[in-house]
Amino acid sequence: QRAQVIAVDGPSGVGKGMVVRGLASRLGWHRLDSGALYRILALAAQAASIDLADTDRVAALAAKLDIRFDGDTEEDERILVNGTDVVKEVRSETTGGLASQIATAPAVRAALLQRQRDFRVAPGLIADGRDMGTVVFPDAGLKIFLTASAEERAKRRANQLSARGQVVRLADLSAEIRARDERDRTRAVAPLVPAPDAVEIDTSLLNPAQVFERIDELLKTRG
């Protein structure tokens, strides 16, 4: 019997991180932020002066990274890569853009696949990303696909970044998020699409409590 998985997919700024943190703490399950792995790998490649277009070298670097996630809330989050806390760089929108560039490469995705599956440990895992329900955990017991209007997502991401002390212009951020989503949706490998058996939740007009209410209903009906 393999540990249970709840897959949470959707575009950037839709609130996946908030949902995953909330569910993990209510259920006492583990958490996987798969986007952070792509972000970390992009940063590490850059730091090693590897051309991001040289996807074989980028993919090979994945095996050399010792990655540790620490902290239960967004505020006290730490991401240790080979011992150094890189959370600030990891969370910038610039890094999000770099991550989505390397994420188009099959070699890179393959290099991170097992690493993501290793997070599946009892009593269960809540995983968020773009292809959790379609590729990484196709047998997840519950698949949620979150959506929200582009304007709302840009606003949420701006609030999140400014809470971290990063200065952002809403117009720039909005353009960056759109470009990144377009790339994520149209790439050939593991594009951002809901799994056929995913439940879509449009969160544009919902507050976090209302999103959790919807998910609680799903958890009840699915056992």
Kindly tell me which residue out of 23, 32, 38, 146 binds ligand C5P, with binding defined by CB under 6 A. Answer: 38
Q: Can residue 21 be called a binding residue for ligand C5P (CB under 6 A)? A: no
- Binding residues for ligand C5P, rule CB under 6 A, total 15
Q: Report the residue closest to ligand C5P, judged by CB.
A: 35
Rg (CA), the chain: 17
Task: Provide CB contacts within 8 A for 29, sequence distance 6+.
Answer: 4, 6, 23, 123, 124, 125, 126
* Binding-site string for ligand C5P from residue 84 to residue 123, where x marks contact by CB under 6 A and - marks none: ------------x--xx--x--------------------
Kindly tell me which residue out of 12, 55, 134, 174 binds ligand C5P, with binding defined by CB under 6 A. Answer: 12
Beta carbons of 16 and 137 less than 8 angstroms apart: no
CA separation for the pair 179, 66 (Å, rounded)? 30
* Binding-site string for ligand C5P from residue 176 to residue 205, where x marks contact by CB under 6 A and - marks none: ----x---x---------------------
Beta carbons of 69 and 81 less than 8 angstroms apart: no
Task: Supply the DSSP symbol for 202.
Answer: E
DSSP labels, 37-58: HHHHHHHHHHHTT--TT-HHHH
Q: Can residue 143 be called a binding residue for ligand C5P (CB under 6 A)? A: no
Enumerate the H helices of 138-199 as residue ranges. 150-163, 170-186
Kindly tell me which residue out of 39, 143, 153, 156 binds ligand C5P, with binding defined by CB under 6 A. Answer: 39
DSSP labels, 174-189: HHHHHHHHHHHHH-SS
CB of 130 to ligand C5P, least distance (A): 4
CB of 217 to ligand C5P, least distance (A): 25
Kindly tell me which residue out of 30, 130, 143, 153 binds ligand C5P, with binding defined by CB under 6 A. Answer: 130
Site for ligand C5P, rule CB under 6 A? 12, 34-36, 38-39, 96, 99-100, 103, 129-131, 180, 184
